[in-house]
Structures are given as C-alpha cells and as structure tokens.
Amino acid sequence: MKKILFLTLALIVTCANCEAKDYAKLHIKEMQKSQKYASSKTYFADYAPQTSIVNNFEIKDPKLIKLGGYKEISDAQYKAKLVKDNLEYAKINKFLITRKVDNYNTQAYGEDFYKIYRVTERLIRANKLDFINWRIVIDTDKAFNAFMSDTNCIIINTGAFDTFTNNEDALAMLIGHEIAHSLLGHSARKDELYTSLERAERINNYWYHLYSKKKLFRESRKMEFAADAEGAKLALKAGYDLSKGKELLGFLNTTGNANDSHSTHPKPQERLKSFQENRKYFMDEEWVKQGRYNIYNSPVLDCVKSSDRHSLTITRAEKKNADVVYQPETAEDLYLRFGYKSYVNNEFDKAIDYFKEYLSLNKSNYAVYLYTSYAYEALYKKTGKSGYLDSAREFASYAKSLAPDNKYVVEQVLAL
C-alpha cells in the first residue's frame, strides 16, 4: 500500500513539474546551442578567401625552379583557340538540349547535362585525361552526394548539382575530387582494405577485426584528404578559381562533425584545414600555364548519350602513349614543389628539409642545391648563427660543381 501511495505521489509531482516547465527558458537554452551549431556560422567559419602569404623577409628567387611540361601560350592564341572550340561546343549543346525526355523522374534536363559536360570536359583536357572514356551520371537523388563508381564513372546526385548550379568553380572541385579518387588508385586500395576486413570476419578474430576496421577508416580518410588536394589541383589547371571553389568545403562544414573514428570520411573541419594547409604549396602560375597548354593542344571532346537514358559518355581522343597522359606527382615532384613553396613562404627550415629529401633522390639538380644555400643564408641572416652560413657555403659549392658557369650560382658563391 505504501509503495502504491509513493508511486502515486511521485507521478503527481512529475506531472506538476511538466505543467510548470518554462518553455521560454527551454527555448533560450536551445538557442544558445545554435551559437555552436548554426549552419550559417559553420558555413562561413572557415570559408574565408585564401589570404596571400606576406613575406616579411627579403629572399633571393631567380625563378629557376619550374615544373615544365608546357610552352607559353599567349592570351591571343588561347582566346583564338577558345573561339574555335566554342563552335564545337555549340553543336554539342544543341545535341544535349534537344534530346528527347521520356521520363522526367529518371532523366535530367539537357541543360544540366551540358553544364556537367562542359566542366568535366575542361578538367579532362587541361589535365591530359582524354586517354579514356569518362562516364557521367546525374542521379535524381535529393541527397548531397557524389562518388566514383569503377574507374571512369562519376555519379553526381541532383542534390549536389543543384547546390552548386551557380558555382562552376565548386562543381569543378567536386568533380575533380571524384576524378582524383580514380587517378590515385583509391578503389584498388579500398578493395584491399575491405578484403582484409572480410578475412578478419571469417576467421572470427576480434583483435584482427578491430585492427582491420580501424585501418580501413584511417586509410580511407587519408585518401579523402589526398583527393581534396589533387581535385583542387585538377580544377586549378583547368582555370577554375579555388577561392570560389572552396565553397564546396564550406558547405560540407555545415553537414556535421561526426566522430571520424567511425567514418571513412574525415571531419569537415579537418578537410578545410587540410585544404588550407596544402593550398599554400600549390604552384598556381605553373599549373595554370600547363592547363592552358594542354587545352590549346587538344580537340574538343565529343559526348554520346548512354543507353540507360540518365548518363552520358565523354569520348576519348585518339589513342595515346602513357608518357603523354596524366601522371600523379612523384616523390621528387612533391619534395621540389613543397620545398620551393616553403622557401618563398619564408618557411626556411621546412624548405631545407624538403630540399634534402629531394636531393636524396636526385643529386643532379643544381637549382635545388642553390635554393638550399639560399634558405641557409636566410636563416643565418635571421639568427646570426655561423653554422647556417657554413651550410649555405657548402650547398653553394655543390651547385657550382654542377653548374660552374651559371650566373646565379657564381653570384651566390661570391656573396658568401
């Protein structure tokens, strides 16, 4: 009886509290959380224009480190080529716009296909990717998503396309990201990781399964970081504006920050930080020149309707050899790029580390020895430590042994 009375009293008190709840105060507490989670705030939190690095230290830079792989194309030449290409684009546009639409639930508008075609075709030509047919699917799905299927099929949900329908720079980064997954061999890597996980499940080993699962998540997140950076590089070569394209990552920042230990994708905030860090080391001018050269020397790529009625295929150019198509950066390429950009960004310690890594692989490049000397000289001027001056002289001597008549090398030896 006492228990019944106690439960009844507790119920009455609870109901009274329910009636007495101050919903105004509850709303205030909830709204306070919006200061952290508001989508507009997270969208703009890290989505700021890329700030240029202000060099506060005068450096020597005779512009000897270049990527090559192109010849200078004048503005007049490039514009003339674009005028010629636009005649071909007009034919393709007419073909896509006038295509018969039998079912609006499964088939995107011709205008949408044309926009996707133009962005993708530009990425392909600027980056020497026209050695294979690329398939583009616009999936009528309102979810914001895009992904790579197989080696040459890019699937874009209408939710993603519509989000950036008025920002082709962001679309280029989105499509570039998916193309990068293919080019960097991420499908094969993920297949190996999933095979290892399945093996662990079959033998029913808890610790092996846990290790395989964590490795899958860890490696997959690294691939996403790499695809973000490489996709941005592809877009930059195609002449897209990364300061506008960065809206892609700003939008992703509003979609949540799930615990990345249980996801194959990194936290959006981490992706923004990775992009901003890597952006400092992009060879903008060189890559833009490479892209213009590639577009100038390539024909407009045709497209055909696929048999499934909601995709198209951008057809490849004439058959090419492996040495004249896209290749991912080698270790030498990466160390050279990061070393040079670290140097011009006044990060002299980093520059020296990257240059030394490069020289461990290639000891024949006099310019890298010279720039390493420059970096040591800059550290000497900043700190006054004689050891840096000794190292500057040493690397200048190496440069002279390889290029004794180079005027910049001679000037550096004499200056030290």
pLDDT band at 308 (very low <50, low <70, confident <90, very high): low
Lowest mean pLDDT among 22-31, 56-65, 119-128, 391-400: 22-31
pLDDT greater than 90 at residue 205: no
- What is the reported pTM? 0.87
The identity of residue 295, as a single letter, is I
Return the top range by mean pLDDT from 87-96, 259-268, 327-336, 347-356: 347-356
Specify whether the CB–CB gap between 176 and 232 falls below 8 A: yes
What's the pLDDT score for residue 56?
67
What's the pLDDT score for residue 173?
96
Nearest to 244 by CA among 171, 170, 328, 320: 170
- Between 256 and 335, name the one with better pLDDT: 335
What's the pLDDT score for residue 171?
96
Lowest mean pLDDT among 259-268, 310-319, 343-352, 407-416: 259-268
Average pLDDT of span 44-60: 68
What's the pLDDT score for residue 414?
95
DSSP string, 160-229: HHHHTTT-HHHHHHHHHHHHHHHHTTHHHHHHHHHHHHHHHHHHT-HHHHHHHHHHHHHHHHHHHHHHHH
Specify whether the CB–CB gap between 357 and 335 falls below 8 A: yes
Q: How far is the C-alpha of 184 from the C-alpha of 233, rounded, in Å?
A: 13
The identity of residue 200, as a single letter, is A
pLDDT band at 21 (very low <50, low <70, confident <90, very high): confident
- Between 114 and 395, name the one with better pLDDT: 395
Q: How far is the CA of 5 from the CAs of 1, 2, 11, 17, 125, in angstroms?
A: 6, 5, 10, 18, 81
Question: Over pLDDT 90: what percentage of the chain?
Answer: 55
- Tens digit of pLDDT for each residue in 133-152? 999 988 888 889 999 887 89
Return the domain boundaries, the chain: 75-324, 331-415
What's the pLDDT score for residue 19?
55
pLDDT band at 13 (very low <50, low <70, confident <90, very high): very low
pLDDT greater than 60 at residue 10: no
CATH fold, domain 331-415, is 1.25.40
What's the pLDDT score for residue 103?
52
- Tens digit of pLDDT for each residue in 222-278? 999 999 999 999 999 999 999 999 999 888 888 765 556 678 888 888 888 999 999
Lowest mean pLDDT among 62-66, 164-168, 265-269, 371-375: 265-269
Torsion 316-317-321-323 (CA) sign: negative
What's the pLDDT score for residue 106?
47
pLDDT band at 76 (very low <50, low <70, confident <90, very high): very high
What's the pLDDT score for residue 236?
97
Rounded to 5°, angle at Cα 242 from 292 and 338: 80
